[in-house]
Structure 1
Amino acid sequence: MPDKSTPKKKKPQPKWLKITFLILKIIRVPVLAVLAVYIGLWIGYTKLGQQPASEIFHMSTWRHLYDLVFAN
């Protein structure tokens, strides 16, 4: 019967796997932030504003919104 007081040894991870996990950990927050902005835009523009979802990415839409917000 093995002794329960001895710690189990982990198999070391390859360096490429450690680097991949580090990159995923770093980019997780910005990716989630961009996703949250997109979902908010989609809900606000298409569901509440009754506009087509394809117009979210048109520059003319954002130019018009900018002109409305910052008009004199």
Structure 2
Amino acid sequence: MSDKPAPKKKAPRPKWLDVIWLIFKIIRIPVLCVLAVYVGLWLGYSKLGHQPAAEIFHMSTWRHLYDLVFAN
């Protein structure tokens, strides 16, 4: 005879918890990518470039950058 007790069965997880976990797994990579882009822009433009961080979101900043890169 074995002295070990029978292993307890885990209660099944609710279906809604499985759905929430699946949604989290799907959107975590795109969210991390957007966060990495934002942090990179903030570091490059604000800290290295000594410009106001709020200008990252202005379209005129990116239009000016585009004109600088693709100027004739």
**TM-score with structure 1 setting the length:** 0.89
Measure the CA separation in 2 of the matches of 1:64 and 1:51. 14
Aligned residue number for residue 43 of structure 2: 43
State the Cα distance separating 1:69 from its structure 2 match.
1.0
Displacement, 1:7?
3.7
Q: In the alignment, what sits opposite 1:3?
A: 4
* Structure 1: gaps of 5 or more residues: none
* Cα distance in 1, alignment partners of residues 8 and 25 from structure 2: 26
Matching of residues 13-52 of structure 1 within 5 Å: 13-52=13-52
TM-score, scaled to structure 2: 0.89
Q: For residues 34-65 of structure 1, give each alpha carbon's deviation from its aligned partner in whole angstroms, at most 9, with x where no partner exists.
A: 00000000000000000001100000000011
Structure 2 segments unaligned to the other structure (5+ residues): none
> 1:59-70 alignment to 2 at 5 Å?
59-70=59-70
Match of 1:53?
53
Give the ranges of 4+ consecutive aligned residues of structure 1 lying more than 2 Å apart after TM superposition: none
**Deviation of residue 3 (structure 1)?**
2.2
> Could you tell me the percent identity over the aligned residues?
74
